[in-house]
Amino acid sequence: MKTKITRKEIPFDMLRVRPHHLWNSQWLLLTVGDFKARKFNAMTVGWGSLGTMWGRPFAQTVVRPTRYTYQFLKQCNTFTLCAFPSEYRQALQLLGTRSGRDGDKIAQAGLTPIASTQVAAPGFAEADLIIECRQLYWDDLEPSHFLDSTINRNYPQQDYHRVFFGEILAIWGTDTYRADS
Ligand SMILES: Cc1cc2nc3c(=O)[nH]c(=O)nc-3n(C[C@H](O)[C@H](O)[C@H](O)COP(=O)(O)O)c2cc1C
């Protein structure tokens, strides 16, 4: 039996996360595409950030050009970032090791896409945090700008990430993500 998740809207100023832990250890699911058109894809992401840019709340995610999701990011201007309770660790592992090119990995992972409130990209019924974003900017990492040569170890195939900035339009989460709870 899946635990029923109750999410409420959280103003960005009230969001409480441990950013490095959230990205690096808990992981997030990046979902891009159009829920209504049933054309979307999702992949696990472990690198990125949450913060402020141009006076707006923003999320930044980095995606290698080899990912199927990258094609969706080039065509669709919204995305969501979702966090899940620990029981979905295996689902995130699966979504981070299989490609949507090879079948319906979202169904295989046992996740249920749901409509977002502000963006075309879906969230998930099982998520305890859903961050809805609209793309604002992208850029490709430039290896000649790496100031620590050990960063190159992440790129044996020279498949440098593209950075996507999203303006956060809405956040839905359980009370644990609210600073005043
Ligand atoms: C824990 C974890 C974190 C990951 N973080 C990233 C990331 O930040 N950027 C990226 O491009 N790939 C990342 N990946 C790899 C993609 O999730 C993986 O290649 C996925 O299968 C791509 O799916 P797609 O081809 O359907 O887009 C990560 C994988 C795992 C397991």
Closest-CA residue to 15 (of 128, 157, 154) = 128
CA–centroid distance, residue 58 to ligand 1 (Å): 20
Q: Which atom of ligand 1 is nearest to the CA of 98?
A: 21
**What is the chain's pLDDT, residue by residue, as a tens digit (181 residues)?**
677 899 999 999 999 999 999 999 999 999 999 999 999 999 999 999 999 999 999 999 999 999 999 999 999 999 999 999 999 999 999 999 999 999 999 999 999 999 999 999 999 999 999 999 999 999 999 999 999 999 999 999 999 999 999 999 999 999 999 998 6
Residues 6+ apart with CB under 8 A from 65: 159, 160, 162
CA–centroid distance, residue 105 to ligand 1 (Å): 13
Give residue 69's region: left, alpha or beta (phi > 0; psi -120 to 50). alpha
pLDDT at 3: 72
CA–centroid distance, residue 157 to ligand 1 (Å): 15
pLDDT at 1: 63
Dist CA 34 CA 165 (whole Å)? 18
Confidence (pTM): 0.98
* Residue found by looking up tokens 């709340």 in the block: 57
Dist CA 97 CA 30 (whole Å)? 14
* Residue found by looking up tokens 């029981």 in the block: 87
pLDDT at 107: 98
> For 147, phi and psi rounded to 5 degrees?
-95, -5
